[in-house]
Each structure stands twice: as structure tokens, then as C-alpha cells.
Amino acid sequence: MNDAKNMTKYSLRSWVLVLALAPTILVGILLGSYFTINRFYELEDTLIEQASNIIEPLAIAAEVGLESKDFETTKRLITSAQLNKASLVQFIAIFDDDNRVVVTSHHYKNHEIMRFGKPLESMLRTELEQVGDSMILRSPIFKSSNAPVQGFNSNQATSDVIKIGYIAILINKENALLQQHRAAVAAFIIVLIGVQLNLFFTFRLVKNVTQPITEMVRVVAKIREGKLDTRLTGNLIGELDLLKRGINAMAGSLSEYHDEMQQNIDQATSDLRETLEQIEIQNVELDMAKKRAQEASRIKSEFLANMSHELRTPLNGVIGFAKQLLKTPLHSSQQDYIRTIERSATNLLSIINDILDFSKLEAGKMVLENIPFSLRETLEETVTMLSSTAREKELELVIDVDSRIPEDVTGDAMRFNQIITNLVGNAIKFTDKGSVQLKLQLEDIKDGKLHVRCEVIDTGIGIDEQQQSSLFQAFGQADSSISRRFGGTGLGLVITKRLVNRMGGQIGCYSEPNQGSTFWLSLPLNISQYPINDTLPLAPLKGKSILLFEPKTLTQQATERMLNRWDMKVTIVDNIDQLQQSTNQSSKVFDFALVSCRALILANSPARLLKLIKPNINYLLLTSDCVEQEDVFSQLRPYVDKQISIPVGEKLLSKSLLDPHSSALNDSLLPLNPVAMPAKLENLSVLAVDDNPANLKLIDTLLKELVTQVQVADNGELAVQLAKERSYDLIFMDIQMPGTDGITATKLIRSHSLNRNTPIIAVTAHAIAEERERISTSGMDGYLPKPIDEAALKGVITRWKTKPKFTHFDQRTLNWDLCLTQANNKPDLALDMLKMLLKSLPETVEHIETALSQADDDKMLACIHKLHGACCYCGVPSTQMLCKEIESALKRGVSIDDVEPEILELLDELTKVESAANQVISQLSVDI
């Protein structure tokens, strides 16, 4: 059908011309093309053969000069060859086995195109490469003793051939191209003459045949335009008369059908109009539904923010005053009641945090940080917080970390802590007896990134296969009765799963009912460029003897592996009798002993037993996982050098063994409930602002235990007025207050008061990221979340009581607050990173200047990339921005000359950074 329509687009005259001319043109083009292409190939083959006849003898002749390093003779050889065939050979170069140019026939500006781009081992014979209007032939140069047969078709095995380099020739194809063009022009002229002769006869035929049809074409064209009353007239001959009648009949039929078709079109148009109106209505409804959904999401966010504030505000008073009550004289039942109130409020706070985390993950607003942290230290801190619950249930809690895992990594330490807390906390919650084991194994280290597999193995109630599918669903647990027995919202695992997925990892579980469960996760972490903590010198422990008395299998195995990694001589005993036998040998004296307190209690007289074995032990450490054993400890203390809690972390144990008599390490031998000594008050004047009476009273009480002068204000207006009348060392400002809120009050204090430069700390129950960002941009210096933690409050005061003021350099050159943020708010770590950057600057500047003078793009990119990585942890925004611009430009292929202004600006900026860093280090080193 389509072919017929296409045929009607052309006149009969055109078809006659086409059918008469096409065969002639086609045959002429085919013949001309065949002979032309054949000629092209002949010329090409002749050129390649000539080039091969030049390069292969040269490859053989160059072997002697290349082997003996006689480059001058080799240069004369290839120069003579190039001059002898100057019209054919444009340039000759010889490369050694390291792909370096050793000899060239003459200077050539673009000699890099002659280099072989693949590994030299892949060049087995003479190879050809086309480059524009030239071609490059490369032939390997072998030692003459075992050189293979050269040539394009050589198949000789080359596995045992010694290759010492290769020769490359740039062949000029201009003469061959000129001959090819001449052959093409000649073929074209011959074809053109044939076409002209054919045209002469064709036009004579067209003139005598197509005149009657031209009128038919005109009439059909009018009919096609809609003039259906047009008809053909006159007498025509033969088949043309039949064609005329057919056209007239067709015109009559079309006129009838036209009227009917118009009616159908009108009806279809009416139906389509109605359909479009319905689609438009649906689009409007969808747009309204989208706006309602966005409004609902906004309302939900506002509701969560308000609920966070409204719930945290009373919890602040409950938890804060519960802790204050514990400081007062109370009998045992009152202390138990207060601790129960504190635990209940803390549990309620954790539920609120889970709901907020789930909402942020669901909305995609969870922002992950990338800061350096100590992996083992973070794990030990996390498990230590959970160890009290495990001790209450008499569970064996074990940490086992692969020694190959680096200590210093970068990532979101807080979220990593949250993941481990959720998994280990769940394992403890659902395990009544047995053990909970946390294992970390190294999966892979590649390109500065390590993949860690973490497993939490328990001996708890287990989960059947059908219930495992609902583990990671929100507000759901594997068994609906679980929430009745153990409590919980069912959000812990879904938050953990989404956090792991956001970090680029995977999580899963395999379990059997009454056999325990194993939750595993694979997580990628970046290796930190800078050490977070000083590496302990473990060499002094090598060869030291240690007696390990730990009946619990998992704890014993984990501790034994740890000690074996330190190359210590470990003697393991499993019971009291073996312990006595090992220490009764008068000649056997152990450097250290690690003894389980729980196992000692099983003896009739643990104190007498320790007294007997102590003479054979230079330093005795007691591991404890028992609850309420003060009476036992009081008996054992005279024979114990140090008491540590289980699970035993690598950091604590290594420090205890390396410096056994350190006073800091013997703090644990103090009584379990020592009398609190009154802390020395900081000589500071502090203003606290809060509209909630309970919260204001709490922060007033806490501050009076830490500073000498405290003044309170219950609204923003009063706070602004007090700030105008008196200067303070520190201001704690609530955010959400009626009338003048905290942000407005801060702006007023900053604009006109006696406290324009006074540190202002936001105290708020808001916990969402948007609120914190709004607070940070409002002129406030810090953030203290509710419920207020006494340790956090003390940390804020300690940090801001001597706020550093740097006035001799631009904050864009070096920003100390940004340094702290990038170092996880650890001043000592931030200072160490700044010192390492300062130490590396002279070498970095030297490398940059060398790369700039040599125009070495690769060396410059390597230097800038390394400097860019260092800037990410040292609070130098201008340097970081310049490094990013230069690195991006170099990676895009921009030359050094084009980015030279930015490089010079970077060198100037590094000079400023060096000066600013020296000032900061000199001012802060003593304080920190």
C-alpha cells in the first residue's frame, strides 16, 4: 500500500526517465566503483609493502645499536633511511622495552603518536595503524640470537623471544592519495559521458509518450485538492481512453463518499472533545491531590517537630530532676524509685528518637556525616553502655574484632553506633541465657575503602522462617506477643536496615526457633588518612607470660586470640584446681594474670586463693561481670592490682598491660560508691533563658553546680534587656518562646547589647536537621539538645569558657569551628590534623611548584588530589575550594597552562594557611 502511494508521487515522465537512466547510471557507477576501489587497494597494498620493506630491515639493523646503546649509529641509520625515502617516509622513531623514545630520525613535534598504546608484550610482529592521512608501522626489535621471522603474516611462536624495543615509521600517503583521486576522477568522467548519451535518447522517448498523461495528472491533482466536479474531456487512444473513463468514474464516487466521510469526522471530533475535557479534569484533580499530599507532608513535618519539642520539654525536667534527686541523701527504696523513673523516661526518649529517625528516613531527609572515628573505640564504648543490661541477665557478652581491620576510619560514627546498639540491644533483650557475641571480620580493602562484615550472634528465642519476613517492617515484630513480653515499637530493625542501605551496605538474618539468631551486615567504610588515636607500642608485651583464667568459652577464645596477636605466652586454666596447679610451681612466675571474678566466687575462699597465687604473679587483673559483689570485692582488693569489666576491650587491656602501675588505671580499685567531692566552680557569669518554669529551674540548678554566677530569664524580652545591662561569659538561649523567640532575641543581642561577642548556646527540644541548620545560621555558636545531660552541659561550658578569637586572618583561610565539626567535635583530634597539614605544606608546595615548572599534568593532579583529601578534615574552605576547581579541571583534560592562575592563587592561599595554622596551634596547644 505504501509502495503504491510512493509511486503516485512521481509523474510518468519521471518514471520513464528513471527507468531509462537508472540501469545505465547504476552499471556505470558499479563498474567505476569496482575499478576505482580495486585501484585504491592496489595502491594501499603497494604502499604498505614498500613501508614493510623499509621498516623490517631497519628493525633488524637497529638491534645492534639498541643492544649496545650506540644511539648515534642508529640515528644515522634511520636518518639515512628517512632521507632516502623522503617522499614516502615522514618520521622514524625507535623505542626501548620501557616504551621510551631513544632515537628519532629528526625532530617531530607530534612524536607521541608514534608510541605503542598497548602493552609491549602484545606486539608480536609488524603492526599497522592508520592516523589521518598518514599511517604508522611498528615492528618489534628482537635480539639477533632468537629473532622471529618478521612480517604481517608471521605466525612464529614468540613466547621465548627476547624483545628489546620496537621501531615506528610514519608513512606519508599523499602520493598514493593523489593517484587514488586521479583514478576516481577518470572513472567519474567516463560514467558522466555515458549518462549524457543515455539522456539524449531518453528525452526523445519521453516527448512522444507523456503528453496525453500530463492532462490526466493535472485533473487528478484537482480531484485530490477537493475539486470533485473536475472531469477529463477529449478523445484518447487505446488504454489511455479507458484510464480517462476510470478517472471520471472515480471522481463521481469520491464526491459521494466525501459527504459521508465529513459526517463521520464531525461525529469523531465531538467525541474527542469530550474525552479531552475529561482528561483535563483528571489532571486538575491529580494536581490538587499532589498539593494536598505535599501539604500533608509539610504538616506532618511540623507536627513531628512540635511533638518532639512538646515531648522533650517535660522529659527534660523529669530526667534532669531525677538525676538531681539521686545526688541527695535517699534511702535504698527511694533511690530505686528514682532510678526507675529515670529509666522509664529514658526509654520514652529512645522511642521518640526512633520515631523521628524513622520519619526522617522515610522522607529521605536523613543526612549522613563523613568524619573520622576510631572503630574499636566506638565499638567498645557502645558495648560498654549495653554491658550492664547483659550483666543483669547474667549473659556472656563478647567482642571479637578481626586484627586486619584498620583502627582509623571515616563515616558516620553516630549512625554506626546506633546500628550496633540496635542489633546488640535486641540480642540482649531476646536472650534469657547463654551469650551474645559481636564479631567484625574484614571482607575486602581496595582503593582506600574497606568492607566490614559484622555479625551479632545470640543464643536467644530465635525466629522461625515464616516470621523472618516481617523483621524489617515498620511497627512490626516477628511475633505479635513479643511486644507484650519484651516491649518496643518494632522500629529498631527497620531503622537499622534503612541506615545500612543509606550507607551502601546490606543486612540480613538467619535464625532457628530456640537456637538463637545471627544478624549480619556488610558495611563499606573509608580508611582515614590521619590516625585518630596514637597507636600503642605493643612490642614490650612480646614474649611476656600471662595466666588466663576464664571458664566462659567465647570470652576465653576471644581474649586468647587477642593476646596471641600481641605475641604473649598464654597459659589457659579452666578451673580452680588448674589455677592452683599452675601457680604452685615455685619456679614459674607469670608477668600478668587475667582472672575471672565470677569463677573465683565458686571457690570456698576466693581471698585466700588469691593470696596463695599472688606471689607467682607480678600483676593481677580481675575481670568482673557480676552484679552487687561489693562484699566480695572488698575481700579481694588487697590482692588485685586492677579490676576491669567484661567485655574486655583491646584499648583498655593493652593500656593496662603496657602501663600496669599507672594511677589513671587504678581508679577502678576505688570503692564502687565513692563519696562525690564537690567540683570546683568555674568563675563565669552565665545567663539562662527558658519560658518553661521546670526547665528553667533545672538548668539553673545544674549551672549553679558548675559556675559561680547564674542569672535566669523566663522570656526573650527580659533576656535582651539583661544583655543590654550586663556582660556575660556565656548565654544559654531557649528557641521556642512566646513573643520574642530565641532566634529573634539572639539577633537583638548581637545587634545592640553588651554581649555582641558572647557565645550564645541554643537549648532546644527540636531534633530535626532543618531546625538545627536554622539555629546554626541565626548567629548562635552552639547547640545543646533537651533533655539536658549534665556531662554535655559541662562540656559546652568547658569548650566556650575560653572561646578562641582569631583576628589576624580570614575565617575562609582557616575556620576553627569548621575544624572541630570535621573532627567530630574533638579539639585534640582537630589540632592533630591541623598539625599534620601544617607539617606537609612545605613538601606539598615544593611538589606543586615542580609540577608547574615541568608542566607535568599527572604529577600536578596527584599533588592536588592528595592536598584536597587533607583539606576535607582541617577547616580550610578557600584551599579546599581551589583544590576542587583545579582537580576537576585537570581531570577534564585541561592543561596546566590554562589553570596556572588558580594554581598560583592556591600557592598564595597555602602561605596564608601556614601562617593561620601556626597562630591557632600556638594559641590552643596549651589549653587543649
Q: What is the pLDDT of residues 891-909, one digit of tens each?
A: 888 888 888 888 889 888 8
Highest mean pLDDT, choosing among 141-150, 152-161, 598-607: 598-607
Indicate the average pLDDT of the chain: 78
Q: Which residue has the higher pLDDT, 213 or 119?
A: 119
Nearest-CA neighbor of 139 among 158, 149, 126?
126
Q: What is the C-alpha to C-alpha distance for residues 773 and 314, in angstroms, rounded to an integer?
A: 24
Q: What is the mean pLDDT of residues 749-773?
A: 75
SS3 assignment, position 273? helix
pTM over cut 0.75: no
Q: What is the mean pLDDT of residues 598-614?
A: 77
Residue 687, pLDDT score:
92
Beta strands in 642-768 (DSSP E): 642-645, 682-689, 707-713, 730-734, 760-764
| CB of 916 closer than 8 Å to CB of 806 | yes
Residue 619, pLDDT score:
87
pLDDT at 478 > cutoff 60: no
Q: What is the mean pLDDT of residues 555-565?
A: 87
Looking at 182-186, 341-345, 543-547, which range is the least confident one? 341-345
List, in order, residues 6 or more apart from 226 with CB less than 8 Å away: 258
Residue 453, pLDDT score:
92
Please tell me what DSSP assigns to residue 528: P
Please tell me what DSSP assigns to residue 855: T
Q: What is the pLDDT of residues 437-450, one digit of tens each?
A: 999 999 888 877 88
Q: What is the pLDDT of residues 357-375, one digit of tens each?
A: 666 666 666 677 777 888 8
Residue 92, pLDDT score:
87
Residue 628, pLDDT score:
45
SS3 assignment, position 906? helix
pLDDT at 704 > cutoff 50: yes
Grid coordinates in use for 59? 628493525
Compute the residue count for the chain.
928
Highest mean pLDDT, choosing among 317-321, 481-485, 513-517: 513-517
Looking at 37-41, 284-288, 520-524, 560-564, which range is the least confident one? 37-41
Residue 668, pLDDT score:
44
Give 663's pLDDT tier (boundaries 50, 70, 90). Answer: very low
pLDDT at 240 > cutoff 80: no
Residue 455, pLDDT score:
92
Pairing verdict, β 371-374 and 408-411: antiparallel
> Cβ–Cβ contacts within 10 Å for residue 303, how many?
12
Residue 485, pLDDT score:
45
Q: What is the mean pLDDT of residues 6-12?
A: 60
pLDDT at 38 > cutoff 70: yes
Give 669's pLDDT tier (boundaries 50, 70, 90). Answer: very low
Q: What is the pLDDT of residues 806-857, one digit of tens each?
A: 556 677 788 777 787 777 667 777 888 888 888 888 888 888 988 888 888 8
What are the two backbone dihedrals, phi and then psi, of residue 670, each rounded to the nearest 5 degrees? Answer: -70, 165
pLDDT at 480 > cutoff 50: no
pLDDT at 585 > cutoff 70: no
| CB of 81 closer than 8 Å to CB of 62 | no
Residue 670, pLDDT score:
42
Q: What is the C-alpha to C-alpha distance for residues 794 and 711, in angstroms, rounded to an integer?
A: 17
Q: What is the C-alpha to C-alpha distance for residues 721 and 340, in angstroms, rounded to an integer?
A: 41
Give 454's pLDDT tier (boundaries 50, 70, 90). Answer: very high
Kind and range of the H or E run holding 858: helix 857-871
Highest mean pLDDT, choosing among 421-435, 650-664, 804-818: 421-435
In DSSP terms, 91 is beta-bridged to 170
* Residue recorded with cell 567535635: 825
pLDDT at 667 > cutoff 70: no
Nearest-CA neighbor of 733 among 693, 760, 772?
760
741-760 residues labelled b (16+ CB within 10 A) or e (exposed): bbbebbebbbeebebeebbb
pLDDT at 715 > cutoff 50: yes
Residue 268, Cβ density class (10 Å: 0-12 exposed, 13-18 middle, ≥19 buried): exposed
